[in-house]
Amino acid sequence: MLLISCPNCGSRDETEFHYGGQAHVAYPENPNALNDREWAEFLFYRDNTKGAFAERWLHSTGCRQWFNMLRDTVTYEIQAIYPMGTARPDAAPPAPESGTASTAPDSTTTGTAAPSIAATSIATSSAPASTTAPEGATK
């Protein structure tokens, strides 16, 4: 059983949560412009990553809020938890010079993007973004 740290509630059993699939799958700018294949890829095609995978979770029997999680699909290690709408935190290792907008391996607008490799070499930027756990919420 995973112990998942909800950003609102602190650590809770996995059974309190629902899985929401791959994160950062953006809705197409203009769905009408897509052909059938592109639309199918948006709807159904997801990465099948071995390693760090960004996914959505819902604390369904707690605060009923969604959040994102970066989880290793091999070890189940939870590397980061971060709010909906924010970029995947592991991104590429910070480029040494200048703050070039580091585009995260945010694969997915149309689903064809390459799976994020380098999963194992990610310098775990995992300050688990959990806020302080409230009274009674920690195991």
Partner 1 sequence: MAETAAPATTRQKDLSARVSPAAQLRSAFETGSLRGVVELAEVSFLTMVGLRVDRNSDAGQRIASVTGGLPAACGGVSGSGDTTVLWLGPAEFLVVAPMEAHESLGGDLIQALKEALAGGEGQVVDLSANRTTFELTGPRARAVLEKGCSLDLHPRVFKAGTALSTEIGNIPAILWKTRDDSYRIFPRASFADFLGRWLLDAMREYASPEVP
| Interacting residue ranges for partner 1, rule: CB under 8 A | 8-10, 12-13, 15-16, 60-65, 134-139
Q: Which of 6, 25, 119, 122 binds Zn ion (CB under 5 A)?
A: 6
Q: Position of tokens 């991104």? A: 91
| Cβ–Cβ under 8 Å, residues 38 and 53 | no
The item of Zn ion, partner 1, none sharing an interface with residue 110, based on CB under 5 to 8 Å by kind, is: none
Q: Which of 4, 9, 52, 70 binds Zn ion (CB under 5 A)?
A: 9
Closer residue to Zn ion (CB): 59 or 107: 59
List the interface residues with Zn ion, window 81-110 (CB under 5 A).
Answer: none
| Cβ–Cβ under 8 Å, residues 56 and 2 | no
- For the record, the structure tokens of 101 come out as 């907008």
Q: Which of 2, 34, 58, 63 binds Zn ion (CB under 5 A)?
A: 63
Question: Does 69 engage in binding with Zn ion (CB under 5 A)?
Answer: no
Phi, psi (degrees; rounded to nearest 5) at 31: -55, -30
Q: Position of tokens 């775990």? A: 124
- For the record, the structure tokens of 89 come out as 């935190």
